[in-house]
Amino acid sequence: MGGRRLPPERAHDQRRVGMCASEVHPSGRTAAVQSPRRRGSQALASEGKHHTSPCPPSGPVTASEVSMAIRYALPNGLTVVFEEQHAAKVAAFQVWVKAGSADERPDQAGLAHLHEHMLFKGTERRGPGEVARDVESHGGEINAWTSYDQTVYHIVIASQFARMGLDILGDAVRRSAFDAGELSREIEVVCEEIKRSQDTPSRRASRDLFSTAYQVHPYRLPVIGTDESVRSFTREKVLEFYHRHYTPKNLVLSVAGDLREAELREWVDDIFGGDWGRPYEGRVARAPEPVAAGRRILLRPDEVKEAYLHLAFGIPQADHEDVPALDVLAMIAGQGDASRLVREVKRRHNLVNDIHTFAYTPTDPGLFSASMTLQPANAVRALEEAARGLATLRATPVTAEELATAKALVEAEAVYQRETVQGVARKMGFYQSGMGSLEAEARYYEAVRNLTPEHLRAAAERYLRFDRAVVTGLLPEGTPLTEAQVHEVLDAVDRAPAAAPPERKPRKVAVSDSPVRILKGTSAGPSDIITEKLPSGATIVVRVEPAVPLFAIRAAFAGGLRYETPEDNGITTLLTRSITRGTPTHDAEEVSDLIDAYAGSLGGQGGRNSVGLRGEFLSRHFEPAFRLFADCLLNPSFPEAEVARERTLLLQDILTREDKPSSVAFDLFSKTIYRTHPYRMPTTGEQASVEKLTPELLRAWHAAHMDPSQLTLSVVGDVKVDEVMALAREYFGASRGKAAPPPKVSLEAPLEGPREAKKVLARAQAHLVLGFPGIRVGDPQQHALEVLSTVLSGQGGRLFVELRDKRSMAYSVSSFAIEGVDPGYFATYMGTSPEKVDAALAGIRAELERVRDEPIPAEELARAKQHLIGTHEIGLQRNGSRAALLALDTCYGLGLENFLHYADHVAKVSADDVREVARKIINFDRSALAVVGP
């Protein structure tokens, strides 16, 4: 909710999770990586080499706090910003190029994004593939993203290899080769990426919004370009853009992590200093967007299962004085469960499946938008209620309580930003390159602190003008919404007397008005892991991590999909969505209010093998936040109205599965490789089973499988062990006596032959999953299988290099091992053009055969192991990640070995171990193949 938002960070999936595909906000600046309470838009205005996850607002609140960072310039004009961070032995390097797709000429559409791909394709010193291999072989991650205004290249790496990581990044930015053959191949990859985006309804809806809101300005065009424009690029065109924009005066190097200033300055001089031979020619002039003379409306029929609506308004650029008010307005209007539009349009009137607002403020004038997904029949009423909610903000000042909450959340998220070094680097890079200086951050937060209700009302009156509204809709055939109805609805809302703000119950807890301090953390290292078994049988695991004033809490129980049957399939998902929707002492609205008051997040989580609750909060709210967590965990009331609402939303998710073809492919694969085991079922359930789920069934399931006697609770962060244990004993010290024994789950019979399933979907891409029965969590071969998967996956892995880099078959290709309490699976995935499916499948099979039948070279084995170890450490920077790993490993009976000694276990894996597990797993006579597409 709210705050200066920054461009996206690549999603780092936990090893158990497998693949992840996340949408990006139009600004590329929303929803939560660090701060999971954020709600992201599904629109898109940035592109990247892999799937992206947006990020929260950043950093320090006062000038003294900003001063932790240093800034200096090289004689050639390159700006460097740096902050020391020693909580983890990790360093982040980011190069921000102050040029994006809005700086392209008409004949260059998509060229900025193509550069993002090409800079990793070889330099004067490193051949194709060597850039990624060098980073991954030293435990690092390398990636990039492109937006309208910037192109950003970033590396996160263990600090012992920091010099090498910086050298690789500098080499790529300064001396890329742009080999003609590599360019030709990468153009094919980008065209596959374009097809992938065409298959994503939220991206199509976003592009409609931007192409309608902007008639002249380059923001009207997709960042990624078009198939036609990208295929027109030559090496000469690429070099022209490169020499024009990739010059020191147009770059910011942002660095954070476990380094010392003196050594960094020496490295930067060596790597980035001197004359690059590319003088800066100044900013490219962009065609200004004229003030809209009236409404702009685009309603377009589409093959989607739910409608995508945007109600948007033009607003100023990032450095305008009204931006803090607009950010806070967006937060109050539609970010989080406690926001106005979520309460009214989604929960009170049940008109939308999702609704959120965002204030997108890039370098040039941006957009304020309310974005909705909904059932087609509700389109007119949803538009009307959303417009009415925004009109209320124009007419009536927000309450002092709402404003105080929003301010506290904006400042609190400065803390969440500091959990990772890449978060700190991203924050500094954004402010220095996009806002002109690091000091702009302090000015922004000071402006937020000085906002009054009248400031917000005045900003709403100035910009939320229905006579200049932009309305776009991606609509299923037959949706009862016409352009004439849009005009009628907006005219009626505009003429009507201002509605009173929605009534809210008095909050039981006051929001603190004291400033949030981000420097409270100490330099002390983490404590030992403290484990205690309570009389109830509950296991409590605590680790004190004082570096940042936050804490994460995770409750885990055996359960999840593995405990489900075809009759109640989906019950875990419905339970986790409903568990925070009310207790005997707090109704759903009060729970949402308290989460905001404690500046945190709280929500249920369910998977294939477990179910539970997760929360993250500021440490200063530890006791009340813990009590709220415990109340929701122990005493969910599952009110009829709330369960009915969540059930309807879940049924809508089931209906819209086909809008996400890659997910359809994985569901089909699960049904193919499993015939009898619960793992064959979708975690969201099926329509018939979900329709039968009732509050009574949820209460019975909760009593049977989520008793304190079955609990594993982990708490990680800036806490005191005795306080954690005292509250844990108070709430979880006694069993309630209704726990049921685990269900008897029969193992899946071995496959008797290869299985294959196909599903026809009219999409631009085909999606294929080929896999084999796998192993259990804790299997002695688990780490060898992870190494095998890493040999194949990653940007330096065989599948990526052979099928994407060399043969341009796909934008997305990967392999992964999904372990379970019962045997999981090992699989490969690719999204590719329909005409390439047979060749792609043959290519995957060839690589699987090679890794099974031939010894792994020592260098390749070392790369895979170091990459696993490094990314494991990078991924565990956040309290929430550490708490999740401790809770699940303890719940699964693995103890602390994985947490404390993961690197040791991986380091011991030999080439023979990898070949042995490959021979055991990769058997095409016992394989499953799922193909979804045209």
**What tokens appear for 821 in the block?**
């309490």
Quick one: average pLDDT of 577-598? 94
pLDDT for res 58: 33
The DSSP H or E segment spanning 573 is: helix 571-578
Name the more confident of 29 and 791: 791
Question: Residue 420 above 80 pLDDT?
Answer: yes
Residue 527 burial (CB count, 10 A): 14
Phi, psi of 512 (to 5 degrees): -65, 135
The answer to whether residues 734 and 707 touch, using CB atoms and an 8 Å cutoff, is: no
Kindly report, residue by residue over 709-720, the tens digit of the pLDDT.
Answer: 999 999 999 999
Residue matched to tokens 């001396």? 175
What pairs with residue 654 in β-bridges?
Answer: none
Three-state DSSP class for residue 367: strand
pLDDT tens digit sequence for 76-129: 999 999 999 888 889 999 999 999 999 999 899 999 999 998 998 889 898 888
The per-residue pLDDT for 509 is 63
Out of 41-45, 201-205, 548-552, 556-560, pick the least confident: 41-45
Model pLDDT, residue 508: 62
Query: Both ends of the chain: CA-CA distance in Å?
Result: 39
So what's the pLDDT on residue 898?
A: 83
Assess contact for 376 and 475: CB atoms under 8 A: yes
So what's the pLDDT on residue 12? 24
pLDDT at 768 over 50: yes
What pLDDT does residue 97 have? Answer: 97
Q: Please, which pLDDT band fits residue 8 given cuts at 50, 70 and 90?
A: very low
Query: Where in the chain are the domains?
Result: 1-502, 530-732, 755-933
Q: Which amino acid is at 274?
A: G
With cut-offs at 50, 70 and 90, classify the pLDDT of residue 468. Answer: very high
Per-residue model confidence (pLDDT) at position 626: 98
- What are the structure tokens assigned to 550, written together? 């936050």
Give per-residue pLDDT as tens, 48-81: 543 322 232 333 333 334 347 899 999 999 999 9
Residue 198 above 60 pLDDT? yes
Q: Please, what's the b/e burial string for 551-569 (b: 16 or more CB within 10 A of its CB; e: otherwise)?
A: bbbbbbbbbbbbbbeeebb
The pLDDT value given to residue 62: 39
Q: What is the pLDDT of residue 763?
A: 84
Q: 785 phi and psi, to 5 degrees?
A: -70, -35
Q: Which of 302-316, 383-397, 518-532, 723-737 has the lowest mean pLDDT?
A: 518-532
**What is the per-residue pLDDT across 306-365, written as a single tens digit (0 to 9) for each?**
999 999 999 999 999 999 999 999 999 999 999 999 999 999 999 999 999 999 999 999
Q: Is 169:268 a contact under the CB 8 Å cutoff?
A: no
Contact 317, 366 (CB under 8 A): yes
Q: How far is CA 154 from CA 46, 572, 694, 816, in A?
A: 15, 38, 48, 24
Query: Which class for 916: exposed (0-12), middle (13-18), buried (19 or more C-beta within 10 A)?
Result: middle
Q: Which residue has the higher pLDDT, 423 or 520?
A: 423
CATH (one of 3.30.830.10, 3.40.50.300, 3.40.1620.10, 3.20.20.70) for 755-933: 3.30.830.10
Instruction: Determine whether domain 1-502 maps to CATH 3.30.830.10.
Output: yes
Helix (H) or strand (E) holding 261: helix 261-272
β-partners of residue 253 are: 80, 95
Does the pTM surpass 0.95? The reply is no
Q: Which pLDDT score is estimated for 380?
A: 97
**135-141 mean pLDDT:** 88
16 falls in which pLDDT band (50, 70, 90)? very low
pLDDT of residue 13: 24
- Alpha-carbon separation of residue 144 from 47, 49, 190, 369, 787 (angstroms): 9, 6, 14, 27, 25
Which stretches within 758-818 are classed as H helix?
782-792, 798-799
Query: Cα–Cα distance between 507 and 500 in angstroms, integer?
Result: 19
Query: What does the pLDDT read at residue 27?
Result: 29
Q: What is d(CA 844, CA 838) in angstroms, rounded to the nearest whole number?
A: 10
pLDDT (tens digit per residue) in 269-306 = 999 999 999 999 988 999 999 988 899 999 999 999 99
Q: Is residue 174's pLDDT more than 90?
A: yes
* C-alpha 415, offset from chain centre: 18
Query: What is the structure's pLDDT at 51?
Result: 32
Domain 530-732, what architecture?
Answer: 2-Layer Sandwich (3.30)
pLDDT of residue 44: 34
CA atoms within 13 A on the CB side of 908: 9
Residue 764: the pLDDT is: 81
Side chain identity at 346, as an amino acid letter? K
d(CA 465, CA 461): 7
The whole-number pLDDT of residue 18 equals: 26
Comparing CA positions, the residue from 736, 727, 778, 742 lying closest to residue 537 is 736
Tens digit of each residue's pLDDT (9 = 90 or more) over 534-545: 999 999 999 999
Mean pLDDT score across all residues of the chain: 88
Nearest C-alpha neighbor of 784 from the set 895, 916, 923, 889: 916
CB 564 within 8 A of CB 570: yes
Reported confidence tier of residue 411, pLDDT bands at 50, 70, 90: confident
Q: Are 120 and 172 spatial neighbours (Cβ–Cβ below 8 Å)?
A: yes
User: What φ, ψ does residue 168 adopt, rounded to 5°?
Assistant: -65, -45
